[in-house]
Amino acid sequence: MSLFDRILKARCISSELIKEFLSPEYSNSYDPFLLPDMKKAVERLVLANKQQEHITIYGDYDIDGLTATALLLDAFDSFGFKKVDTYMPNRFVEGYGLTIEAVEKIADKGAKLIITVDCGSLSEKEIIRANELGVDVIVTDHHNVANIQPPALAVINPKRTDHSYPFIDLAGVGVAFKLIQALQVYLNGLPNGQEKWLLDLVALGTVCDIVPLVDENRTNVYWGLKVLSKTRRPGLKALMSVAKVDPQKINSRSLGFSLGPRMNAAGRLETAQYSLNMLISKNSVSALEAAQYLDVLNVSRRVEQDKIFKQAIVQAEKCYDDLVLVVSDASWNHGVVGIVASKLLEKYKKPTFVLQEMGDKSKGSARSYGDFSAADAIEASKDLVIKGGGHKFAAGITLLTENIDAFRVRVNEFYRSQGLINQKSLLLPKADVSATLLEITEESITLINQLEPFGQDNPQPIIKSDDLIVVNIRKMGVDNKHIKLELQDKNGVRMNFLAFNAPTYFFVEIGAIIDVWYCPDVNIWQGMKSVEGRLLHLEIKE
């Protein structure tokens, strides 16, 4: 059985399913009217279109919210809506989601309808205020929902239990896209099939929000990458140029590690409006200027993040026995702390909360893994928390600064109450298959790449190769943080393995015999191709 066939078997992709998995049919997407409140939302928007009411799209400052906002603007323009504007909250002023102050500003400007994207499911008091001001609200969201829905005209969220939609893990931009598909049934201007040109935005938001890349998400991203390769948007063309992403070779990794960080940098350091302006720009010159500025911000973001990470390590070392890390400082930018939390989790193998102390209040982000839910930990500490919530593995939180120590105690007690065991082992890479180096060829890698787009629940396949001898070591980069190992198997086949910001145990001795876990890839350097492995883990043989 070939390497590719063994991977398919390991992932339970049968011969009956392989064609649909490798080439998902866009036409198999689900009926948008199966989502809760979709018909109510469409009827209200048809009326708004007829009367040309003032509509405000209320976005969010991450890529999921940005792409959803741009998507609705694009589609509403096609449908002939004339009075549509946006409200992009500032992370440092308003924070995540609807606020009463924002609702009042929107109402003062004459809006009769607010459409939220990627937020709103828990905004009861804000929606009540909107209703008092004569403004209807349609929520499109994918975050956790309340037991009783807020009093919006419609709450379109696949996480609700009172519907028959088959897939609950749509990204926020995916939910917005379903709204557009539903509107196509009732409004002219966007003929059936033309909505596919919106899939570049759907793919970008879906990949970067790290939702499972299976089912309808996989379909949207699969076709969205094809749209991205020939996108009509000057902003995305400029961003790919600045990020040195070849449109003809774009993949999910390009989105998650090149385009995404640049777009997110604006909201983390200044305002996400810069990213939205780039996305919706109709002019190539202004789009390029915006993309270049995002690149500058992304460099600044990395500098800021590295500084905070080093300081956070000092605090983490003092909490060695804690099962959950909670660190904070007044000088840390809470727009960056989520990335720092991810890096601390990777280093210490512990769920992590990183907070910026902002006077009486502190705000920050959490990252978790395995069986420990950051969102549930916040819920278990709700008497100490002003505001908080999110997903199992990522969440946001606001609390009184004086409650940080009590919160640290509480979340550690909550962890112990869960009875979790062997959690660190869940962070180790798990190989799809074992293989000899002779099997890792350009041809086999080409077959493996058919499983793209890779992401949550469909990761890039991991290979394990055993009993390899270290024949050469090359340290690279500033402070020798990166490493290239040349390894040889028992048959004399050699292959290079690379790791950036490698952990110390990767720096093995020449002559050592090791087992390695890696993702195979084809490297092109000065026109020459070579097969290499992105090293994920190794174990020295005794």
pLDDT digits (tens, 9 = 90+) for 475-512: 998 788 899 999 999 999 999 999 998 989 999 999 99
Contact (CB, 8 A) for 95 and 113: no
Tokens of 179: 């709204």
Starting at the earlier edge strand, list the strands of the sheet with 55-58.
84-87, 55-58, 113-117, 136-140, 154-156
Q: What is the mean pLDDT of residues 412-441?
A: 93
Q: What tens digit of pLDDT does each residue of 130-174 get?
A: 999 999 999 999 988 888 999 999 999 999 999 999 999 999 999
155-163: long-range contacts, CB 8 A cutoff, minimum separation 24: 155/36, 155/37, 155/120, 155/121, 156/35, 156/36, 156/37, 156/38, 156/41, 157/35, 157/36, 157/121, 158/35, 159/121, 160/36, 162/36, 163/34, 163/35, 163/36
What confidence category does residue 277 fall into, taking pLDDT thresholds of 50, 70 and 90?
very high
pLDDT at 364: 93
Least confident range from 103-112, 351-360, 517-526: namely 517-526
421, pLDDT greater than 90: no
Single out the residue of 261, 204, 124 nearest to residue 455, CA to CA. 204
pLDDT of 200 reads: 98
Dihedral sign, CA of 166, 170, 174, 180?
A: positive
Extract the tokens encoding 39.
Answer: 């018909």
For the segment 12-16, the average pLDDT, to the nearest whole number, is 89
Q: For 286-318, what is each residue's pLDDT tens digit?
A: 999 999 999 999 999 999 999 999 999 999 999
The one-letter amino acid at 139: V
- What is the number of residues in the chain? 542
pLDDT at residue 143 in the model: 87
What average pLDDT is seen over the chain? 95
Please, which residues bridge with residue 117 across strands? Answer: 140
Instruction: Spell out the domains of the chain, with CATH numbers in brackets.
Output: 25-228 (3.90.1640.30), 229-302 (no CATH), 318-426 (3.10.310.30), 433-540 (2.40.50.140)
Nearest alpha carbon to residue 234 among 277, 173, 265, 191: 277
pLDDT at 17: 86
- Tens of pLDDT along 461-477? 999 999 999 999 999 98
